[in-house]
Amino acid sequence: MTATSSLAAAIPYYIFVIVVLLALLRLVRRTFANYKGTRFSMARTVVFSAVYVAIGFFFSALSYVNGVTPLLAVPQLVLGAVAAFWAFRYTGEKVTFWKAPDGSIHFRGGVATYIIYIFGLVTRLSIDVLFIGPSMFSFASGSKLSGIALYGSLTTDLILLFGVGLLIGRSVRVARRYQAIKRGRAVVPVSPSVAGLHSAQYE
């Protein structure tokens, strides 16, 4: 294979890495925004959640091509489901809502979910970049990872899927609370300082 053809074959890989890094930077910004408080948007919540969940599942599926046994898919999915259930149940205690003077709904909190996901994504991407490189898109049979790299991939997959589950549970919980507020089944304060003490409750 010539240098030109090798570079052409590697283009999808570099494009993918750039896209993931941009998505990661956007998620970091979103984490800070959630920490300080931001306006809630149902469309933005759905789109961002779908993108980051898709990225997480893509990396997990890629691991099976690179040497991780597919038998681990079941416990990984179970871990994600447990994380989603836990986040859905307990996010309400960490996320607070309030109503701005213009009537828009704002919220903040629950950033630990993003931090766990970011950590899992960064470490997982690092393994692919350091140990696999452009061949990650070759989808050739056989293991590309072994030893420490293989165990590292497995560990980071677990962290990433745990973060994916947390992200799903948090997004569903926050969306449900927002709908309750919009339908008048929850009362929220008009001050973020008060919101920090009294979160919205609904039936």
User: Does residue 203 belong to any structural domain of this protein?
Assistant: no
User: Does residue 79 belong to any structural domain of this protein?
Assistant: yes
For residue 103, give its domain range.
3-195
User: Does residue 143 belong to any structural domain of this protein?
Assistant: yes
Per-residue pLDDT reduced to its tens digit, 72-109 = 888 888 999 999 999 998 887 788 888 888 888 989 88
**Rounded alpha-carbon distances, angstroms, from residue 173 to 59, 71, 169:** 25, 31, 6
User: Does residue 202 belong to any structural domain of this protein?
Assistant: no
User: Does residue 201 belong to any structural domain of this protein?
Assistant: no
What is the percent of the chain where pLDDT is above 90? 20
CA distance 184 to 200: 11
Per-residue pLDDT reduced to its tens digit, 45-77 = 999 889 889 988 888 887 777 777 777 888 888
Least confident range from 56-65, 80-89, 115-124, 126-135: namely 126-135
What predicted TM-score, i.e. pTM, was given to this entire model? 0.80
User: Does residue 75 belong to any structural domain of this protein?
Assistant: yes
Model confidence at 146: pLDDT above 70: no
User: Does residue 154 belong to any structural domain of this protein?
Assistant: yes
User: In this structure, are residues 130 and 64 in contact, taking their beta carbons and an 8 Å threshold?
Assistant: no
Domain count, the chain: 1
User: Does residue 96 belong to any structural domain of this protein?
Assistant: yes
